[in-house]
Structure 1
């Protein structure tokens, strides 16, 4: 079912009633509104499976290859699960994200999934450009040392290489404290999607939260935003419309018939005298 005006109106009603606060850094901003993720996918034609007796939301892509599960009542630490079935000459893959992952950061990955591929040869590039500490051991640390990104190679402890992102309560390396949220992306998640997620995570622009919205840590900074409520709503609506147009363009390109080859030119031989 495509995204309806009623659903956009419901988003607008919520955000029109709360004063936006610029909240940073992003990894501590809290979960925000899950519709930053689900509205983008719905605009791209993903179908939603509703169960009136469950809080779980399951969305599937038009080609049924991709499946997103959001379950805030799960007994595990992973509230979001994204799966890709194997495709033509492509591996299947799996990614999961914890309760307090900012919806806008996760939307960086899901937006990239439904829009035309962009060149992103090095997933680390947006992190290093944002000034995060990066070493040759395939790890990076946020400026406040609370968020750590690791690309773990195959070893005796890890059967397959994978990406791990963890946010913890303490910057003390010897005792980092309890985990706030995590993300896991297996080795077959395309680099462009990893880069999109890391880019949205390391982006230094703040996220907008309401005055009483939950943040992930007491050290998150909230300041009155120069944006008005309507500007926040308009930005969401414009993004959704752009995603819808881009997703349609991708589908048209994928279903366009191949151009038939030009007929061979027949060269008439000269008549014999």
Structure 2
């Protein structure tokens, strides 16, 4: 279902009175507005399948294979859960995200899911390295302030899962954990790459003066106006819909049917 004018107006009303502040680094910028995620999925045709009166939100893809759950009352540290059910040709997979993961970073994952790029995915650590994060010999990347870490963890069958943690400044990886993200070994690499690319991007995120941020986040008045923030959101949804339409028009590879082999002589003798 497309995002309605009423929903866009509600987003605009929320941000109209918030003077935006450039906020960084991204891993300390706080959750922001979750509608960056939910509006993007709605623009891609996902629908709410949870109880409309429940604080829990479950959005499901048109083919019912993918779902995103937001549970503000979760008993665990995972507030967002993204799932794919297995098919005859593709495995299922699972990813989860903590409460303080910036919505703009999570929306990079959901955008990459609904509108895949035609470019082959890269190792997610390439994006971190390009943003001047420190890559160590164990296959992990640390932010310049040492408060966020992206780690590749070996799993069975020569596969790897990805774990991301952000901690309060001042104690490195031993500080209080602010949030985490985890991608299981079957999660498509392009989704992990999208997350790390958005997370390591040095460009600030826009937050209001009283928005929730982590201790240590740096803020300064933004050259953007509230209307700029609203217009950027609307334009992103328009561009996302255009990418999805283009992907649907893209020719799909033809399936070549291989003829069944002729029966063996021994099989003929057994008839």
TM-score by length of 2: 0.88
Q: Distance in 1 between matches of 2:253 and 2:48?
A: 29
Q: Distance in 2 between matches of 1:70 and 1:64?
A: 17
SS in 1 for 2:240: helix
SS in 2 for 1:187: coil
Deviation at residue 178 of structure 1 after TM alignment: 1.8
Equivalent residue for 2:161?
A: 162
Equivalent pair of 1:170/1:176 in contact (CA under 8 Å): no
Give unmatched runs, 5+ long, in structure 2. Answer: 256-271
Deviation at residue 120 of structure 1 after TM alignment: 2.1
Matches within 5 A, 1:1-273: 1-117=1-117, 118-154=119-155, 161-173=160-172, 176-216=174-214, 218-253=215-250
SS in 2 for 1:59: strand
Deviation at residue 122 of structure 1 after TM alignment: 1.7
Equivalent residue for 1:267?
A: none
SS in 1 for 2:42: helix
Deviation at residue 54 of structure 1 after TM alignment: 1.3
Q: Distance in 2 between matches of 1:125 and 1:212?
A: 34
Deviation at residue 171 of structure 1 after TM alignment: 4.4
Q: Distance in 2 between matches of 1:177 and 1:199?
A: 24
Q: Distance in 2 between matches of 1:239 and 1:44?
A: 12
Give unmatched runs, 5+ long, in structure 1. Answer: 260-273
Deviation at residue 19 of structure 1 after TM alignment: 0.2
Deviation at residue 5 of structure 1 after TM alignment: 1.1
For the aligned residue pairs, the C-alpha RMSD in angstroms reads: 2.0
TM-score by length of 1: 0.87
Equivalent pair of 2:59/2:69 in contact (CA under 8 Å): yes
Equivalent residue for 1:268?
A: none
Deviation at residue 169 of structure 1 after TM alignment: 1.5
Q: Distance in 1 between matches of 2:107 and 2:194?
A: 9
Deviation at residue 104 of structure 1 after TM alignment: 0.2
Q: Distance in 2 between matches of 1:136 and 1:89?
A: 35
Equivalent pair of 2:21/2:220 in contact (CA under 8 Å): yes
Q: Distance in 1 between matches of 2:228 and 2:187?
A: 34
